[in-house]
């Protein structure tokens, strides 16, 4: 893990330097995310006369604390802010209790893309509506919009699974860039088309009469799903590089 330069000898850090330091432990961190945490009052870097942010070592430690509490304990920003306030006043932050279920980590391939195993994963995680809102850090209005546009669907029991949690969390992160649930309908449509393509290939296997047919169909579906996501992600990456 990269050491934070001593501000007494190197001066304050730019937001880009802070990003480089945090990426070692928090791969998904972005400059908009750091700005968002600043807007929420969780970190207050100095500003130069020209308006540029300058972060101290204490600011970086503060960001690490926020990101760790989010990632490891699913704490909402409001609660993390209360922890930081206690620390600022020389107090110990409250003990962190496991107040929400622990959600299984999605299996990822080495390049960060979902593997076939992740598509084959089955879990029986069931989250209440209140738990989903708390863990994903979204409002009731946002969840209602996600449901309206077919992005998240409750089970017959009224509970939500871990896929719903990932979708809700991702929607919140996209929202930090100005994308609202209604903008995400294109993703739902694209996913439906890919599912349809996979089902066309798998359908003959499902109709086979031998005892191993179901297993072959399941394995084929998971492999095709992982390959289609890899292709989609790579095409998007290639398209952005051409711009």
Mean pLDDT, residues 163-181: 91
Is residue 198 within 8 Å of residue 226, measured between CB atoms?
no
Which of 69, 73, 57, 47 lies closest to 2, judged by CA? 57
Angle at 233 between CA 126 and CA 222, to 5 degrees: 50
- Scanning the structure block, which residue is given the tokens 């330069």? 5
* Residue 147: closest CA among 176, 185, 179: 185
- Mean pLDDT, the chain, integer: 84
Residue-wise pLDDT tens digits, 73-110: 878 888 899 999 988 888 888 777 655 555 555 556 66
State pTM to two decimals.
0.58
User: CB–CB of 86/109 below 8 Å?
Assistant: no
Query: What's the burial of 184, exposed, middle or buried (CB within 10 Å: 0-12/13-18/19+)?
Result: buried
- What confidence tier does 5 reach under pLDDT thresholds 50, 70, 90? very low
Least confident of 19-33, 50-64, 150-164, 208-222: 208-222
CB atoms < 10 A from the CB of 69, how many?
19
Q: What is the dihedral of CA 178, 180, 182, 185, to 10 degrees?
A: 80
């Amino acid at each position: 893990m990269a050491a934070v330069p001593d501000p007494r000898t190197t001066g304050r850090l730019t937001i880009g330097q802070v990003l480089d330091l945090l990426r070692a432990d928090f791969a998904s961190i972005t400059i908009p995310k750091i700005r968002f945490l600043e807007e929420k009052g969780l970190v207050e870097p100095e500003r130069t006369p020209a308006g540029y942010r300058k972060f101290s070592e204490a600011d970086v430690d503060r960001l690490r604390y926020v990101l760790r509490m989010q990632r490891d304990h699913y704490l909402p920003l409001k609660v993390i802010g209360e922890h930081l306030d206690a620390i600022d006043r020389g107090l110990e932050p409250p003990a962190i209790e496991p107040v929400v279920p622990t959600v299984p980590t999605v299996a990822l391939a080495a390049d960060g893309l979902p593997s076939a195993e992740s598509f084959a994963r089955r879990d029986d995680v069931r989250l209440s509506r209140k738990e989903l809102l708390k863990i994903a850090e979204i409002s009731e209005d946002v969840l209602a919009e996600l449901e309206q546009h077919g992005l998240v669907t409750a089970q017959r029991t009224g509970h939500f699974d871990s896929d719903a949690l990932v979708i809700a969390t991702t929607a919140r992160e996209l929202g930090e860039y100005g994308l609202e649930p209604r903008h995400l309908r294109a993703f739902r449509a694209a996913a439906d088309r890919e599912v349809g393509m996979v089902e066309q290939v798998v359908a003959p296997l499902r109709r086979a009469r031998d005892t191993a047919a179901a297993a072959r169909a399941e394995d084929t579906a998971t492999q095709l799903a992982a390959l289609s996501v890899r292709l989609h992600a790579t095409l998007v990456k290639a398209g952005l590089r051409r711009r």
